[in-house]
Amino acid sequence: MLLALALAAIISYLTRVCLAPAASTIQGEMGLDDLQMGNVLGGFFLGYLWAQVPGGWLGDRIGARRGLAVLSLLWSVATIGSALADSAQALWWTRVAAGVAQGGLFPISVKVITAWFPVERRGIAGAVPTACMSVGAALASGVTVILIPEIGWRWVFVAFSALGIAWAVAFLLWFRDRPEDHPGTNREELLLIRGDWKVEPGRELIGDDEPPPDPVGRKPGGPIPSTFEAMWSMLLSPNMWAFCGQGFFRAFGYAFFVTWFPAYLERARGLRLEDAGLLTMGPLIGVVVGSFLGGWLVDAILARTRSAWLSRSGLSAAALLVCSLANLAAAFVTDPIAAVALITGGTLFFGLTGPATWAAAMDISGGRGALVFAIMNMCGNIGAIACPVVVGLLFEAISSTGAPWELVLYLFAGVYLAGGLCWLGLDPNRSVVDRRKPAPSPAP
């Protein structure tokens, strides 16, 4: 199951990120300036922003199996459209369409993990798609710059799209929305996923309308609220605002590596396109390593301390502080490889926060995990849209005024610090859809 989600994350990021390492080539071919290219780079995130909640709704409406297959087909077709684009406008529209198609991928993936994994294993389960996002991004950065001289950027886009089409067909044939419906699932696996109280001797799940027991001692919260009730409670919840805030700042920071970072290495550090593309893989690999380590840490800290706050919020706040300091230090380093090494160390700590985000979404969702994650991800993509535009403007200002390139890393040091402060305000023990006072977690 995790392998299917891992492949979906990798393939989606191949098509999402391939534009960034091709940006300089496309600018030269189409005659685009930095501001125009920044808008094109942000087009994907604009579509992605507005498709989060509808994408989560689609998964609830037609199921994860059909929902993910349809979305993969759509984003693949949109990326083929990008390969056919002959102007900035056409390229922008196809990137918006690809963003719309990918909008439901991770909200629906939360739904899959909730259905297929026990609560105490959701940290490592969430780590896999989180890490594989950056595996796909790293592959896109490296493979694209290698293939562009050989086959051109347009055929690179087509090749990545073909993988998405193949995945959609295979997933539709193999996956089932409920473990009970999959022929490869036995009763022992159901007992592990659901617990004894959820599985009848005949193998069928019982009590579908109730959440499973909580690993930190909270009681099941009763019936799942309606969409309107959940949305209203989230709007009034400081916890939800903190959760969305960290999503905004984390996505703003991450978007740099999948949009302007190769160009930053070319201009600020004087590297060739090929070298910049390959070095861009470093920070993305750091996120991969950090994500897998974070999945283990989230579950280990919870098991040892029984504190959801330490496991989710405390870990993430500390990790983003380290990431901020690493970017600040890199601004004072002149050697490009040493600077990228510092930034990569920072992204390793950044990666720790991904599994914590998935786990926290399930903790605070009150049975509305896909909706909570979708709204947080929507706010995150406001940050992801803003990043390439803000950085494009900053590039223009630096180029025209002679201001120091260190300003770019100062910006991101501040962004990561702000994300850490948001985590300090997030209580994973408090539901965002149920404003009743939560039961206290047991003492360690």
pLDDT for 440: 41
Q: What digits encode the pLDDT tens for the residues 36-83?
A: 887 888 888 888 888 877 887 777 778 778 888 999 999 999 999 999
DSSP assignment string, 195-215: -GGGB-TTS-B--TTSPPPPT
Q: Give the C-alpha separation, 413 to 320, whole Å.
A: 9
Rounded mean pLDDT of 240-253?
A: 95
d(CA 81, CA 241): 36
State the average pLDDT over residues 313-331: 97
Mean pLDDT, rounded, for 95-101: 93
Residue with the bigger pLDDT between 444 and 109: it is 109
Task: Identify residue 158 by its one-letter amino acid code.
Answer: V
Which residue is listed with tokens 């696996």? 189
Distances (CA, A) of 21 to 312, 381, 407, 427: 33, 20, 22, 39
Q: What is the pLDDT of residue 195?
A: 58
- Nearest Cα to Cα of residue 395 among 260, 296, 274, 273: 260
Work out the pLDDT band at 439, boundaries 50, 70, 90: very low
CA separation for the pair 42, 255 (Å, rounded): 9
Sign of CA dihedral 355, 359, 365, 367: positive
Q: Does the pLDDT of residue 250 top 90, yes or no?
A: yes
Residue 352's SS3 state is: coil
Q: Report whether pLDDT(32) > 80.
A: yes
What is the DSSP track for 81-103?
HHHH--SHHHHHHHHHHHHHHHT
Mean pLDDT of 205-215: 44
- CA distance linking residue 407 with residue 243, whole number of Å: 27
Residue 219's pLDDT is 46
**pLDDT at residue 349 in the model:** 97
**Which of 147-156, 207-216, 231-240, 311-320 is modeled with the greatest confidence?**
311-320
Alpha-carbon radius of gyration of the chain: 21
Percent of the chain surpassing pLDDT 90: 36
CB atoms within 10 A of CB 442: 10
Matching residue, tokens 């109730």: 210
Rounded to 10 deg, the angle between the 238-255 and 353-364 helix axes is 150
Q: Which of 152, 180, 32 is nearest to 92 (CA)?
A: 32
364 touches 372 (CB < 8 A): yes
Place of tokens 């914590």: 356
Please determine, for residue 437, whether its predicted confidence score (pLDDT) is greater than 50: no
User: pTM, whole model, 2 decimals?
Assistant: 0.72
pLDDT of res. 177: 65
pLDDT of 343 > 60? The answer is yes
pLDDT tens column, 262-297: 889 988 888 887 788 788 888 988 998 998 899 889
More confident residue, 116 or 97: 97
Give me the count of residues in the chain: 444
What is the chain's mean pLDDT, rounded?
Answer: 82
* Ordered structural domains, the chain, with CATH: 2-180+226-424 (1.20.1250.20)
State the pLDDT at residue 115: 74
Q: Of 329, 342, 350, which Cα lies nearest the Cα of 287? A: 350
Give me the pLDDT at residue 154, please.
92
What are φ and ψ of residue 307, in 5° steps? -110, 110
Q: Quick one: pLDDT band at residue 194, thresholds 50, 70, 90?
A: low
Q: Give percent of the chain with pLDDT exceeding 70.
A: 82
What's the confidence (pLDDT) of residue 212?
Answer: 45
